[in-house]
Each structure stands twice: as C-alpha cells, then as structure tokens.
Structure 1
Amino acid sequence: MNRLPNRSTLLILRTLSKMTGVDKPIENAIRVKLEKGLSPSFLEIFNESYMHNVPEGSETHFKVVVVSDQFSDQPLIKRHRMVNELLQHELKNGVHALSIVAKTPAQWEQSSQTVSPSPACRGGFGK
C-alpha cells in the first residue's frame, strides 16, 4: 500500500504544478466539482493515464480519494453515485475510467490514510 503525501507536501506539489504552467483542464474540473459538491476534508486526484495506452499528457484515467462528512451513513454504492453525478460531464466527455475511494473522516483515520495502488493495465480485452 502506498502512503499518500501529507497536506504540506500536496500544497507544495500543487503550487509547483501551477508555477510550471502544467495545463490539466480535466483534473482541475474534477477538483473544482468535488470540492464544491462534497466539501471534502481530504481530496487527492491521481491522473493514471500514463499507465495506459494513451498519448502522453492524456487525461483519461483517474483515481480520486475523497474524504467527506457527506459520506456518513451512506453505503459505498451511494458514495460512488454521488461522485459520478458530480462528474457526469467529464465521464461523458473524455474520462474513460474513474477509480473512487470514498471515505468518511473516521474511516480515513482508521485506514492510516493509505490507499492501494491501482493494478497495472492489462491492455484491454482481458489480455
């Protein structure tokens, strides 16, 4: 399991990304919609497109880690639906795959704030 960077490190990484002029319109749209719709206490978005057979710089495969009080008393399927509803435009317009880790703050603390890495791409069609 990979330990996610702490908040200070994430702030530095986001600042560096902005300073280098890296353009990530889909990732940025995902961030804005999840922040506005779920008011997360923790949010991290991983562009996993590089793990797939897509052109360099693509924004087609994402993993989101969202920790929100709004997930309290909600089953996992409902949490995923909440995220999918917020990102319906992106899912219809270019995002091919979305992995969702949706936890309450208590669950996030119990998990030691870690998430499992995504599996390697098998090339589609069960290869």
Structure 2
Amino acid sequence: MALSLRERMESKLRQAFASTEVEVIDDSHKHAGHIVHEGGAPQGGETHFRVRIVSPDFAGKSRVERHRAVNALFADEFAGGLHALALDTRAPGE
C-alpha cells in the first residue's frame, strides 16, 4: 500500500533534519469547495498541510532560513499539487 502524502512528508522531514518532534497535519478539508485557482483543495485533498518540527538543525537560523530549508525539501511535492504549507519550525528549547 502506498504511503499518503502526509506520511511521505513526515518521512522526508525525519530524514532531512535531526528532529526531536515532527508533526504533519493535513488541513485540506478546511479548503474543500474553494475554487482551486484561489487556493482551494480539489477532491481528495492532500494540498494544504501544517508542519511542526523541532530540530537542533534550526539553532542559530532565522525563521526565513528555516522555512526555506523545509520548502526546498518539498519542491517535488509543490510541483505535484501541494498548494500550501503552514510551518512552525523551532530549535529545541524555543
């Protein structure tokens, strides 16, 4: 059985960053029925996600640097239909 996009994203985050916490939440249902070109979710979802990650890799990095690193990790997913990613990126102790 194929992994869901949420599961693949979580796996990529765990592999790319030395993380102490990773949470990926599919929020696509909150956008159902919206016009797709305006950011809505098509049938089937898996377009809008919330990510929370705590990693020592983020220590000393700005919020913009952290977000760029995560967004770059998901370049293929954005090209394949991922539309929105809300990020909460922290170093331990923040």
Do they fold alike, i.e. is TM over 0.5?
Answer: yes
Aligned twin of 2:5: 26
Q: Does 1:103 align with 2:82?
A: no
Structure 2 counterpart of 1:59, from 46, 69, 93: 46
Unaligned 5+ runs, structure 1 = 1-20, 108-127
Identity of aligned residues (%): 31
Letter in 2 for 1:102: T
Partner secondary structure for residue 36 of structure 1: helix
Which aligned pairs between 1:26-105 and structure 2 lie closer than 5 A?
26-53=5-32, 54-55=41-42, 57-105=44-92
Offset, 1:39: 2.0
RMSD: 1.6
Q: Distance in 1 between matches of 2:62 and 2:20?
A: 19
> TM-score under structure 2 normalisation?
0.83
Give unmatched runs, 5+ long, in structure 2.
33-40
Q: Could you tell me whether the CA contact under 8 Å between 1:50 and 1:56 is conserved in 2?
A: no
| Number of residue pairs aligned between Structure 1 and Structure 2 | 86
Inter-partner Cα distance in structure 2 for 1:80 and 1:55:
25
